[in-house]
Amino acid sequence: MSRRNKLLKFTENLTLPNVYESFTYGSDVLRGAGGAEVVMTGNWKTGHFNNEHPLTLELACGRGEYCLGLAARYPERNFLGVDIKGARIWRGAVNAIDQNLDNVAFLRTKIESLDKFFEPGEISSIWITFPDPFLKDAKINRRLTSPNFLNMYKKLLPEDHSIHLKTDSPEFYIHTKEMIQQEGHELLVDSPNIYDGNLPHPDLDILTFYERMHLKDKRIIKYVEFRLK
């Protein structure tokens, strides 16, 4: 994608009614349609979705395929895709509008800043779909299931609500299970190959752009569901 096309999409993101942005690290300023400053902390359900339905986050959402698939499947729930890549957010947001999916929106921000935009317990569940595994040792703390992230999720999720991880990375999969054990959390489902027999979760049949690529490369898709304690 050319730089010019990316810049056009970044500009159009500011006009879309289902996109919120705060891409300056450390800032708690959030902007909605038209670039207007908005306060959504504690207000996502009533302020954007106009209902009290439970809210699910998809972290590292990319083009938002999982959000869109879940939103179409569960109209009685709300979904919010989170990613820092503006062009990918644009694609997901435009697809949501084209598909008349009013129960899905997108937040462009660094996931490290997530707790600035939600009240404790405001999120009902989290999906982490094919995140960057950050394989270099120097970047291990940037993995989305490292203790610093798990501690943040624990503040945002009500007690006994689940986190779902779908990945093709053996290193990330092993790391996640090690963190669950090390931090004293509860492993609910552990599948080293989701396509070896029946799917361990009914929503694993939703395929993202990246999963289709991984399957073509004969990579093995792994899944973990766990509960924070």
Catalytic pick from 132, 160, 168, 203?
A: 132
Half-sphere exposure at residue 225, Cβ-oriented, CA atoms within 13 angstroms: 13
Of 100, 96, 49, 98, the residue nearest 77 (C-alpha): 49
Residue 200: both structure tokens together = 């361990």
- Do 60 and 82 contact (CB within 8 A), yes or no? yes
Alpha helices for 23-169 (secondary structure H): 65-73, 86-98, 147-156
Determine whether 132 is an active site residue. Answer: yes
Of 6, 30, 52, the residue nearest 106 (C-alpha): 30
Q: Distance between CA 93 and CA 81 in Å, rounded?
A: 9
Q: Distance between CA 130 and CA 219 in Å, rounded?
A: 12
Q: Distance between CA 208 and CA 132 in Å, rounded?
A: 14
Q: Known catalytic residues? A: 132
